[in-house]
Amino acid sequence: MSSFKRWGQAVLAAFLIVFVITAWMIFAPLQLGGQAAYVIVTGNSMEPGFHLGDLVVVHPVLDYQVGDIVVYRSAELKRFVFHRIIGKNLDHFILQGDNNSWTDSFQPTREEMVGKLWIHIPRAGKVVQWLRLPINMALMAGAAGGILMAAILMGRSRRRMRRSKKS
């Protein structure tokens, strides 16, 4: 192998390592020490822009403004709530769903906010929920294992064919 090819592979490997580390820092979930929270929309309070089963990714920010779409953990509901900030009351935020005529009874502070909307992926939450079912996860793991095994076996048969042609 020429030194140019080895040098090129080293540069490519370094680039891939930097890319993976950067992607991890940006997309790592809060539970693993990252900055992103992944929330599946479970109601219709934010329609027409957000629908049941959409996946939203939120990042914490230093300052939340009126009009921001945010996620907070509701102590009353014991789950994440995805609503828009419509006002402030001292250091508390007044929130309301775009499709609701009432405001939220819980008014979180900045520290109680999970984050501000960063990415919206329509219908991706339904896929995640489907994948989280044990039978579907087992089927996907089996399919991935089958594909990996087939790739390994095909690689071995190609190497054997090359060896037999060289002889």
* Confidence band for 57, pLDDT divided at 50, 70 and 90: very high
pLDDT at 2: 63
* Secondary structure (3-state) at 3: helix
123 Rama class: left (phi>0) / alpha (psi -120 to 50) / beta = left
- What pLDDT score does 7 carry? 84
Is residue 19 predicted with pLDDT exceeding 90? yes
| Complete DSSP assignment for 124-161 | HHHHHHHHTSHHHHHHHHHHHHHHHHHHHHHHHHHHHH
**85-104 confidence digits (pLDDT tens):** 999 999 999 999 999 999 99
Mean pLDDT within 128-155: 94
Q: What is the pLDDT of residue 8?
A: 83
Q: Span 47-68, mean pLDDT?
A: 95
| The model's pTM | 0.78
Q: What is the mean pLDDT of residues 139-152?
A: 94
pLDDT given for residue 84 in this prediction: 97
* pLDDT > 70 fraction of the chain, expressed in percent and rounded: 95
| Confidence at residue 1, expressed as pLDDT on a 0 to 100 scale | 53
What CATH class does 36-123 carry? Answer: mainly beta
